[in-house]
Amino acid sequence: MLNDKDLHIEFPCDHIFKAFGPNDGKFVAAVQLAVASVTPVAADSLKVRPSSGGRHQSVSVLVRLHNLQQLHGIYAALKDVPRLSYLL
């Protein structure tokens, strides 16, 4: 696992978070709320793509980060999203 010293990120920067979960009508809102708990999320910063079978979906959220604490905070909030399958 990388520690903070191994990260070569200059702030402020744009960062995309990707969350994979069920295509149930609630997952997208839960991802948006999780990210918004740390930093504002613009309406046009969400991209949703269903899986080929339609049972799952990926949600990409583009945000402007100003510090490392925001990066860690968003990942922590996303890990608490119900029925999250995978996180990038």
| pTM to 2 decimal places | 0.90
Cis (ω within 30 of 0) for the bond into 40?
Answer: no
Residue 17 and residue 68: Cα distance in Å, rounded? 14
- Which amino acid does the sequence have at 61? V
How confident is the model over 43-66, as a mean pLDDT? 96
Domain boundaries, position 74 = 24-87
Tell whether 8 is covered by a domain. Answer: no
Tell whether 81 is covered by a domain. Answer: yes
Tell whether 77 is covered by a domain. Answer: yes
> What does the pLDDT look like over 5-40, one tens digit per residue?
556 889 999 999 999 999 998 999 999 999 999 999
Determine how β-strand 13-22 pairs with β-strand 46-50: unpaired
> What does the pLDDT look like over 70-81, one tens digit per residue?
999 999 999 999
Residue 3 pLDDT more than 70?
Answer: no
Tell whether 4 is covered by a domain. Answer: no
- The residues with which 62 forms a beta bridge, in sequence order, are 16
Tell whether 17 is covered by a domain. Answer: no
**H or E stretch including 32?**
helix 27-36
Tell whether 29 is covered by a domain. Answer: yes
Number of structural domains found in the chain: 1
Q: Please tell me the predicted confidence (pLDDT) of residue 52.
A: 96
**H or E stretch including 76?**
helix 68-79
